[in-house]
Amino acid sequence: MNDNIEKILAEEGFYVSTTVGMSMAPMLRNRKDRVVIRPLGEEKLKKYDLPLYRRPDGKYVLHRIIGVRKGYYIIRGDNTYRKEKVPAEWVLGYVAEFYRNEKHIFTTQKKYRAYARLWNWIYPLRFLTVQCRTGLSKIKHAILKPFRKKK
Amino acid sequence: MKIKSDFTIQKVGSSYVAIAVGETSKTFRTMIKLNATGAFLWNLLSQKDLTEEELVDALLAEYDVDRETAANDVSKIVAVLTENHLLQ
């Protein structure tokens, strides 16, 4: 994303960008969908909100809040399996709305909030599926290893 | 002139912004704010290869303005688009 997102947010009151990366798939697709970021005012973010934050290494990240604690958030990408502890002061803004193809979705919409809740609720199932797939792939490699041609 | 195909315009509230999509968004990471006239011209240029003169005529057909104002608006928008390398 832009090097001056903070500046754009302060000057314009919003920032629009295409999403980058697969970590928020399937909801936000790499370089296809567009998000509208609004600066964070006095209000606090809630569980399932989508904050845009900047890590100390300068990298911008847009993931989902799965827990709110005093002074920080527990955050995880919809398509990732690792939690991150994000101090509130890293957060620059939040996704207020997004465009998926021609569909315009506000993150306050009931339907969207239900989707976010459901996606988080089935996390253990998604995690297990990925683990099984990885395990099966390892077993397959181990079984086939003796039959592979040596270079 | 024509808008490059890897750029799109997005309406946010009452504003319009031009952003890159697809692979171009790797290198073009800013957003360009446009007014309603800019958005109107953007839509024309994203569909068709047009000259400044043709854009002025299109503005005159759409808005109740004189030729001088329309020409000024067109050259301002074209300057912004050129400066940001959005034209092909």
Structural domain boundaries of chain B?
Answer: 7-83
Asked whether the beta carbons of residue A31 and residue B19 sit closer than 8 angstroms, the reply is no
| Percentage above 70 pLDDT, chain A | 97
The label of the residue with tokens 């004189």 reads: B66
Q: Which of A1, A16, A97 sits opposite B17 (nearest CB)?
A: A16
Write down the pLDDT at residue A5.
Answer: 87
CATH, domain range A5-121? 2.10.109.10
User: Under an 8 A CB cutoff, do A14 and B29 touch?
Assistant: no
Question: Is B21 in Cβ contact with A15 (below 8 Å)?
Answer: no
Task: Give the rounded percent of residues in chain A with a pLDDT score beyond 90.
Answer: 69
* Of the listed ranges A82-86, A130-134, A145-149, the one predicted with least confidence: A145-149
Alpha carbon A82 to its chain centroid, in Å, reads: 11
| pLDDT tens, position by position, A25-46 | 999 999 889 999 999 887 789 9
- CB atoms B10 and A32 under 8 Å: no
Which percentage of chain B shows pLDDT scores above 90?
Answer: 65
pLDDT of residue A3: 57
- Can you give the pTM of this predicted structure? 0.83
Q: Are A12 and B33 an interchain contact pair (Cβ–Cβ within 8 Å)?
A: yes
With left for phi above 0 and alpha for psi between -120 and 50, is residue A137 left, alpha or beta?
alpha
Which one, of B59, B76, B75, lies nearest residue B67 by Cα?
A: B59
Task: Give the pLDDT of residue B43.
Answer: 93
Residue A151 has pLDDT above 90, yes or no: no
Asked if the C-beta of B51 comes within 8 angstroms of chain A's C-beta atoms, the answer is no
Q: What's the mean pLDDT in A118-144?
A: 90
Alpha-carbon distance A100 to A104, whole Å?
7
Over 60: is that where the pLDDT of A2 sits? no
Q: What is the mean pLDDT of chain B?
A: 90
Q: Does B5 touch chain A (CB under 8 A)?
A: no
Find tokens 């890159």 and name the residue.
Answer: B20
Q: CB distance from A75 to chain B under 8 Å?
A: no
Q: Looking at the partner chain, which of A12, A17, A97 has a beta carbon nearest the beta carbon of B19?
A: A17
This complex has an ipTM of 0.77
Spatial neighbors of A150 by CB under 8 A, at least 6 apart, are none
Burial of B65 (0-12, 13-18, 19+ CB in 10 A): middle
| pLDDT-derived band at A150, boundaries 50, 70, 90 | low
CB contact under 8 A, A31 and B10: no
Q: Quick: pLDDT tens for B3-24.
A: 988 898 999 888 899 998 877 7
**pLDDT tens, position by position, A64-78:** 999 999 999 999 999
What is the average per-residue pLDDT within B50-54?
A: 94
pLDDT at residue A86 greater than cutoff 70: yes
